[in-house]
Structure 1
Amino acid sequence: MKRILLSLAALAAVSAAPLAAQAAPWQSINQRQANLEQRIDQGVRSGELTRAEAARLRGEFRSIARLEASYRRSHGLSMRERADLDARFDRLSRQVVAEKHDRQDRDHRRG
């Protein structure tokens, strides 16, 4: 039984490798945080994000940062926790894009 499970696990790892190679290069959590923070700030400066949108996005950002700190305090980041944080950052990144392109802006004179 153990051999079958190990064989299946090895097969799954080998078949998943090409998918990982096609994905965007992995960024550290710190890089992702800096990138998202910069995108939010840029959206506010350009007027693509309203103050309310930016506040909501920053609140979500702080929530993820607190969760990361909690994970690190308890025992360091496991692969599962990294995956969880990555998924949360992916979701926040999509929210930033959506908010920046929802045609609401600070300067209502722009068309």
Structure 2
Amino acid sequence: MNRMNRMIAVFGLVALAAPGVASAAPWQSINQRQARLDQRIDQGIRSGALTRNEAVRLRGEFRQIVSLESRYRRNGLSLQERRDLDRRFDSLSARVRIDKNNRRAYR
């Protein structure tokens, strides 16, 4: 009976912890990340938060990452390549955020 109680307790803890872990950091596929970054750049252009030059530079970096992804996918996307793409998307996302929120907003 003691073993059964432990199993019930473990399943209970897992059931309680799983929703919190799942919502802590939602994972996005590469395609979702690409679409979201593209939307953020478009929104920045429409709102005036991004200048034309900033948008051109960000779009160029975006296209380079998409091209790299295509090369990686030719032979199957390895875990290392996936991590590289994630790192590059994180970096581009940070640049979009910085460019959208730079000093021009205070003029």
TM-score (norm 1): 0.73
Cα offset, 1:21, TM superposition: 6.6
Find the counterpart in structure 2 of residue 36 from structure 1: 37
| Greater helix fraction, Structure 1 or Structure 2 | 2
Structure showing greater relative contact order (alpha-carbon pairs closer than 8 Å, 6 or more residues apart): 1
> Structure 2 stretches of 5 or more lacking a match?
1-20
Please give the residue correspondences for 1:69-80 in structure 2 after superposition, counting only pairs within 5 Å.
69-73=70-74, 75-80=75-80
Distance 2:23 2:36 in 1: 21
Deviation readout 1:23-46 (Å, 9 max, x if unpaired):
621100000000000000000000
Amino acid at match of 2:92: L
1:89 maps to 2:89: yes
- Aligned residue for 1:26, secondary structure, equals coil
- Aligned residue for 1:92, secondary structure, equals helix
The answer to whether the 8 A contact 1:44-1:51 is kept is: yes
Find the counterpart in structure 2 of residue 53 from structure 1: 54
Cα offset, 1:70, TM superposition: 0.3
CA gap 1:23/1:88 in 2 versus in 1, 3 angstroms: farther
Q: Which has the larger radius of gyration?
A: 2
User: Aligned Cα RMSD in Å?
Assistant: 1.8
Cα offset, 1:63, TM superposition: 0.3
Runs of 4+ in 1 over 6 A off after TM superposition: none
Deviation readout 1:36-61 (Å, 9 max, x if unpaired):
00000000000000000000000000
TM-score (norm 2): 0.75
The answer to whether the 8 A contact 1:48-1:100 is kept is: yes
